[in-house]
Amino acid sequence: MIALVDYGMGNLGSVDKALRHIGCRVQVSSEPAVLAEAGAIVLPGVGAFDDCMRHLHGHGLVEPLKQAIAAGKPFLGICLGLQVLFESSEEGGLAGLGVVKGRVVRFKHGLKVPQIGWNQITIERPAPHLEGIADGAWVYFVHSYYVVPKDESIIATTTEYGCRFASSIWRGNLFACQFHPEKSQAVGLKLLENFARFSGEL
Amino acid sequence: MLAKRIIPCLDVTEGRVVKGIRYRDFRDAGDPVEQAAEYDRQGADELVFLDITASVDNRATMLDVVARTAEQVFIPLTVGGGIRTIDDIRQTLKAGADKVSIMTAGILNPDLINEGAERFGSQCIVVAIDAKRVPRPDRDDSHLGPAPDADIQWRVWTHGGTRPTEVDALEWAVEAEQRGAGELLVTSMDADGTKAGYDIELLRRISESVNIPVIASGGAGNVEHMYQALTDGKCDAVLAASIFHFKETTVGEIKKELASRGVPVRM
């Protein structure tokens, strides 16, 4: 079973639908016990960094998430679910989960912010999550901030939007992306399927 | 590089797709879920469902259409028409929409934009602007090309293009952004349904006034019109209905043509 973390923010429906569409068993939950039981965890997210951290604290999910990731449970972070893995963000004052060293910064260029729409990924490292996905594949983004990992070797893909930024990271059983696989048509479904297979959930 | 988006729009009432000309003379154009799936196969970047009746009865039908579409189409879905309250937004997002488009309620109660953006994020609040040129007897606007002078004005219309307001379209665009809109969907009522081309001047002026994506709507008759909106009109996306519904062209064909002319599109 894949636990889809519901911390009271954003729209979980599309991630839930996409995971079910590819044949996964999903439990939408904010219970630490469900996270502990799950074979894999998906942390989705839209909204603001501090709101997200406040909700995670409020539901008592901060420690369970850190523990699950430290224990090597397969984990997929999406959008804000990528950003909160980091230590801090320019968007807010609260500390992130800090399971990845680095910070989250805002786009500072003349282009429109947020970046909304389809952009391409350049594959920097062949993560198993990207198997069967072409270099230059198009995925859907909606964000104003991007992650800057201290250890650049964890960057799985990069994307160009005024600057080249890390559009996904991969470290062992942890994979997290800035784009929305659940809204990225065939490419996104492929990534979710890879994640589910990698996690032994398919 | 960020791609320019091609967005088919499905005008829906009582669970069926319809297409009218200048907001009237609606013709039946098929099943919305089937059509959404077809556009997805063709390579549409997003889809917009517009509830053109927007009655309370129709809302449940619309939410059902959205839910069934979201089961099989994994690209962003926007729903507009009759979104009046925070609860309408919540229910629509819950049914599977990624964004809601707010028009009349945004004018009558602008705080809805702020509240919606605060609760659900700017990314899901699209403010739709139906704009109509203020007629000037001394000038012929029928071509809708670049205005011969700078004093051309557009007013916002509400209630599906039936009621005029005194609100200036450019000023409203700027205010909507400040209030938290994530995108603007700009429809020229002069051009809508004519297939004679978007109102490029309107699009360009709005695009230059805001720093959020602008979606061009109303008037697309061919790929040249879309090209103009994405280049001269400085828009980030184009929305069209008629030319797709009656199978005059496909999303794929349009993208191929735009790509050959140097417009970045997702292939």
Note the pLDDT of residue B116: 93
Taking the C-alpha atoms of residue A153 and residue A155, their distance in angstroms, rounded to an integer, is 6
Q: Do B183 and A116 touch (CB under 8 A)?
A: yes
- Mean pLDDT over the full length of chain B: 89
Residue with tokens 């350049």: A122
- Respond yes or no: is residue A163 known to be catalytic: no
pLDDT of residue B59: 81
Q: Would you place residue B150 in the very low, low, confident or very high pLDDT band (cuts 50, 70, 90)?
A: low
Q: Which helix (H) or strand (E) is B18 found in, with range? A: strand B16-21
Residue B26 pLDDT > 80, yes or no?
no
pLDDT of A27 reads 96
| Cα B218 from Cα B154, distance rounded (Å) | 14
**Percent of chain A topping pLDDT 90:** 88
CA distances (Å), origin B44, targets A45, B14, B73, B253, B265: 24, 24, 10, 11, 10
Span B54-81, pLDDT tens digits: 676 778 888 999 999 999 999 999 999 8
Interface contact flag, B3 A118, Cβ < 8 Å? yes
Averaged pLDDT, A153-159: 98
Known catalytic residue: B45?
Answer: no
CATH number of A2-198: 3.40.50.880
Please compute the mean of the pLDDT values over residues B147-171 and round it to a whole number: 86
Pairwise CA distance, residues A114 & A162, whole Å:
12
With CA atoms as reference, report the closest residue to A77 among A149, A134, A152, A151.
Answer: A149
pTM for the full model?
Answer: 0.93
Per-residue pLDDT band for B120 (boundaries 50, 70, 90) equals confident
Of A11, A18, A141, the CB nearest to B98: A11
Interface with B, mutate which of A9, A16, A140, A141 (most B CBs under 10 A): A140
Give the pLDDT confidence of A63-81 residue by residue, as tens digits: 999 999 999 999 999 999 9
**Is some CB atom of chain A closer than 8 A to the CB atom of B30?**
no
pLDDT in tens, A175-193: 999 999 999 999 999 999 9
Q: Does B126 touch chain A (CB under 8 A)?
A: no
> How far is it, in rounded angstroms, from Cα A86 to Cα A96?
5
User: Where is pLDDT greater, at B171 or A92?
Assistant: B171
pLDDT of residue B147 exceeding 80, the answer is: no
B32-38 contacts: CB < 8 A, separation 24 or more? B32/B65, B32/B69, B33/B65, B33/B68, B33/B69, B33/B72, B35/B8, B35/B10, B35/B245, B36/B10, B36/B69, B36/B73, B36/B77, B37/B69, B37/B72, B37/B73
